[in-house]
Amino acid sequence: MQADGLEPAAAEWEPILPALIILLPLLGFAINGALALSAARKSADAVRAGGEFDFFEGGRARTHALPTWVGPGVMLLAFLLTLVNFISMLGAELHDPWVHAYWAWISTGELEIAAAIQLDQLSMIMMMIITGVGFLIHVFSVGYMQDDPGYPRYFAYLNLFVFFMLVLVMGASYPIMFIGWEGVGLCSYLLIGFWFSDEAKASAGKKAFIVNRIGDLGFLLAIFLIYLVFQEVDYVAVLSDAESIFVYGGPAITTVTLLFLLAATGKSAQIPLYVWLPDAMAGPTPVSALIHAATMVTAGVYLVARSSVLFALAPLSSAMVAGIGVLTALFAATIALKQQDIKKVLAYSTVSQLGFMFLGVGVGAYTAGVFHLMTHAFFKGLLFLGAGAVIHSMHHALHHTHKDWDAQDMRNMGGLKKYMPITWVTMWLATLAIAGIWPFAGFFSKDEIIWMTGAMAGAENAPYPMLYTVYWILALAAAMLTAFYMARLMFMTFHGPNRTGAAEAEHLHEAPRTMWIPLAVLATLSVFGGWINVSEDLRESVLGGFGLLPMGEWLHHWLEPVTEAAHRVQESRLGEVAHSAPFGGGEVAWGIISFVAALAVVLATVRLLGRSEVPVAVEDTEPTGFARILYNKWYVDEFYHRWVVDPVLTTSRILWRVVDATIIDGTVKLVGNGARAIGWVASLFQTGQVNRYAFLMTLGVLVILSMIAF
């Protein structure tokens, strides 16, 4: 698009081989995919011949060597390349995004869409997360998936996922983003149903895919609407013209943003479309870490942050984004309180944290939303990988003694800290981070979101001040619940007496090196990652070590070029938001409050769990009363089944049996049978008797002659 002169060329900064960052994972997919296909073909041949195929034929050194090096290898190269570009961008003071069109992708009539990539501060942050955390999770997978016959296939899917995720964040227009959006959905489906021979897992994949389709419809409609209004679909054109074309709070902008919100609720698992994410835990645990915690599910947040001007122009949509976010945060947190499956707790926790991010971008704190996205990628990635290590170990132990217990049920665990010290320590660090304990990463990001919500409630011309006050209280409640359920998870898993049984406990082991090194790296990031965006007030106070923290509001400044238009709109409409928090307090007050609250909840949990919940055995923990409702996830799945799935199925069945089979098929059959009946009657005249033919022919000629004559 540079060539078309659509925007000023950003001559001051040139990235190094940006397309290669996208292509490397694709190359990994091609290689691993070819390996997987050849193994599958050999297996099919062997099964057809009546035998069985040994996927580990020739030893793991032979079958696993290539995927092991290619899978994480391409990720490492992509990460290093991203890092080089990131560092060069750091020194460039880039203001306009760097856009480069490679070829004309769609060119029909008025519509011109180029296959273009855009690099700016936001996409750079996303790329760093995707390739960085992605690489660590690839490394973890080497250990985790070691014994799986689908090893090459797994890495093929994982590489393909990273490819699409990079397309999603690097594309320069909404349609390109949509390719990535659909692509990551496909990979998510493939990886949730990775063990497709288990029907429950296969249908969990289908559920994710189908639920996401509802959101994707919103995305498509939003693109159509944007095209209708702008005759343009690339970010640079749309976002720079938005202020002059749209009326503030007008119906067009509100519709576009609400459609984007629908898309985001699907991909980012918000109410009402969150139901697929907990089921998505059927996939391998590293997949849950990468796709369903760190990267793909944050695509909705990225979408809103990317379109921040549009959302700033639509206060109603923004209030909806924040409302859906905070409700999801609280709702999912309550469900997480009573789940027994370690991954289910983390899944609901992810839904809840995504809710916080939505709250952030909904109240106009786009930087805070992206900040929480980033810190969440660190600590939730770590929590999932840690859970993976625990499950791995539990699985081995139970496998040794042939016990058919559930390796993911926390009621079967307990006391694992003795056997898995590294996992224990790193997971605790992540837990402190997600709970919002100072000075871990989650404290700074979550606190900023909550604080900005409070600021919105007190803003001069806030559109719905009461509403934002409610949001603020709900957000605080959700943050406290977060601390509670995470502490519960840690205590049930790692503390108290061991419940696996003595024979099994002997086989519990610490994760292998390829698994604990990623844990350690992510733990470091979970501890220090929050320091890149400490607000000035906080930095000067005791919580910032009186200015000791090195980076200040770095992320704010970094994302300034992306968010400045949105902030400009906000400021002109709502006044200066940043210093109008309720009770007249600055960020310091809120920092102390949320810190104390989180700490109090953790301490309370320690007492509570120390007394009752930890030692109970499996059989006598059938929950009752309100706990039962939470345990059953508020019966949302049942509700959807009753009021959405069943009616759709019933309608389909009626349409099938009555409309299709009876009315439409009936009409078609009537025509056919009618023709046959006429033919049957006519065939009676065809006797094979020459004389009769001659007679009829003569008769016919006479009739024609008489018609001509008279």
Partner 1 sequence: MLVESLVVSGMIFVIGTLGVIVRRNAIVMFLCIELQLNAVNLTFVALSRYVGIEGQVFVFFVMTVAAAEAAVGLAIIISIFRHYETVDVDKFNLLKW
Give the footprint of partner 1 on this chain (CB under 8 A).
683, 686-691, 694-695, 698
Sequence-ordered list of residues with C-beta below 8 angstroms from that of 168, at least 6 positions apart, any chain: 177, 179, 180, 181, 183, 184, 299, 302
Q: How far is the CB of 679 from partner 1 (least distance, A)?
A: 9
Torsions phi, psi of 100, nearest 5? -140, 125
Q: How far is the CB of 682 from partner 1 (least distance, A)?
A: 9
Q: How far is the CB of 700 from partner 1 (least distance, A)?
A: 13
Contact 443, 600 (CB under 8 A): no
Distance separating alpha carbons of residues 529 and 444, to the nearest angstrom: 9
Q: How far is the CB of 698 from partner 1 (least distance, A)?
A: 6
Q: Which is nearer to partner 1, 50 or 688 (CB)?
A: 688
Q: Which is nearer to partner 1, 554 or 695 (CB)?
A: 695
Contact 321, 311 (CB under 8 A): yes
Distance separating alpha carbons of residues 544 and 591, to the nearest angstrom: 10
Q: How far is the CB of 671 from partner 1 (least distance, A)?
A: 21
CA distances from 465 to 143, 360, 461, 472, 659 (A): 51, 16, 8, 11, 51
Contact 237, 96 (CB under 8 A): no
Helix axes 151-170, 121-144, angle to 10 degrees: 170
CA distances from 688 to 677, 681, 685, 701 (A): 20, 15, 9, 20
Q: Which is nearer to partner 1, 572 or 673 (CB)?
A: 673
Neighbours of 244 (CB within 10 A): 6
Contact 230, 555 (CB under 8 A): no
Q: How far is the CB of 107 from partner 1 (least distance, A)?
A: 58
Distance separating alpha carbons of residues 311 and 321, to the nearest angstrom: 9
Q: Which is nearer to partner 1, 228 or 675 (CB)?
A: 675
Return the exposure string of 348-366: e unless at least 16 CB atoms fall within 10 Å of the residue's CB, then b. bbbbbbbbbbbbbbbbbbb
Contact 377, 298 (CB under 8 A): yes
Q: Which is nearer to partner 1, 104 or 678 (CB)?
A: 678
Q: Which is nearer to partner 1, 662 or 686 (CB)?
A: 686
Q: Which is nearer to partner 1, 197 or 706 (CB)?
A: 706
Q: Which is nearer to partner 1, 649 or 699 (CB)?
A: 699
Q: How far is the CB of 192 from partner 1 (least distance, A)?
A: 59
Contact 444, 569 (CB under 8 A): no
Strands (E), 524-680: none
Q: Which is nearer to partner 1, 652 or 698 (CB)?
A: 698
DSSP 658: I
Q: How far is the CB of 675 from partner 1 (least distance, A)?
A: 14
Q: How far is the CB of 701 from partner 1 (least distance, A)?
A: 9
Secondary structure class of 514 (helix, strand, coil): helix
Q: How far is the CB of 670 from partner 1 (least distance, A)?
A: 23
Q: How far is the CB of 686 from partner 1 (least distance, A)?
A: 5
Distance separating alpha carbons of residues 465 and 459, to the nearest angstrom: 8
Q: Which is nearer to partner 1, 548 or 690 (CB)?
A: 690
Distance separating alpha carbons of residues 637 and 644, to the nearest angstrom: 10
- Please give the structure tokens belonging to residue 19: 């397309």
Distance separating alpha carbons of residues 164 and 186, to the nearest angstrom: 9
Q: Which is nearer to partner 1, 111 or 697 (CB)?
A: 697
